[in-house]
């Protein structure tokens, strides 16, 4: 459970940003998520499984799978990533944005940044810390 605990540790406030606008939400950048994954699980596999396009061919999202070894168990998570404001003239950038969203969502399923979604209801890190401590 040690790696799972390390993945679930909340990020320091200095790394948390807030999206501007009516639906402001706390987030951490893709690069920070990638650093946490590399720090805790080391090399991992990430693959875009399917590109999602609008009827006129604009990339608006993707499905992707993240595969890691956590605490000696191979885990694969598939998630959807979307593009907030798809540019009809920049499918490469759209796909890159969708992939960034997808890996962040996959990582969240492993506890990475989950405290940002859970907000005041976040308890996973404390529960895992107790298990790690009990295991010695």
The domains of the chain are located at 2-135
Q: What confidence score (pLDDT) does residue 23 get?
A: 72
Question: What is the value of pTM for the model shown?
Answer: 0.92
Query: Does the pLDDT value for residue 8 go beyond 80?
Result: yes
Q: Residue 78: phi, psi to the nearest 5?
A: -110, 135
E strands within 1-136?
Answer: 17-18, 26-27, 45-53, 59-70, 73-82
Average pLDDT over residues 106-129: 96
In the DSSP assignment, the letter for residue 82 is E
Strand partners, 78: 65
Share of the chain above pLDDT 90, in %: 92
| Rounded average pLDDT over 48-67 | 98
Instruction: Compute the distance between CA of residue 29 and CA of residue 90 in angstroms, rounded to an integer.
Output: 21
| CB of 94 closer than 8 Å to CB of 52 | no
**Spatial distance between the Cα atoms of 63 and 101, rounded to a whole number of angstroms:** 10
Nearest to 104 by CA among 14, 3, 1, 17: 17
CATH code for the domain defined by 2-135: 3.30.390.80
């Amino acid at each position: 459970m040690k790696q799972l605990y390390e993945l679930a540790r909340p990020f320091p406030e200095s790394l948390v940003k807030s999206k501007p606008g009516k639906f402001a939400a706390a987030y951490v950048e893709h690069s920070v998520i990638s650093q946490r994954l590399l720090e805790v699980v080391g090399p991992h596999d990430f693959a875009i499984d399917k590109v999602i396009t609008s009827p006129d061919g604009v990339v608006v999202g993707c499905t992707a799978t993240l595969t890691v070894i956590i605490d000696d168990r191979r885990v694969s998570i598939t998630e959807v990533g979307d593009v907030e404001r798809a540019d009809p003239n920049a499918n490469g950038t759209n796909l890159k944005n969708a992939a960034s969203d997808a890996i962040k969502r996959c990582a969240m399923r492993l506890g990475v940044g989950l405290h940002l979604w859970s907000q005041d209801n976040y308890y996973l890190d404390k529960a895992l810390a107790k298990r790690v401590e009990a295991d010695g």
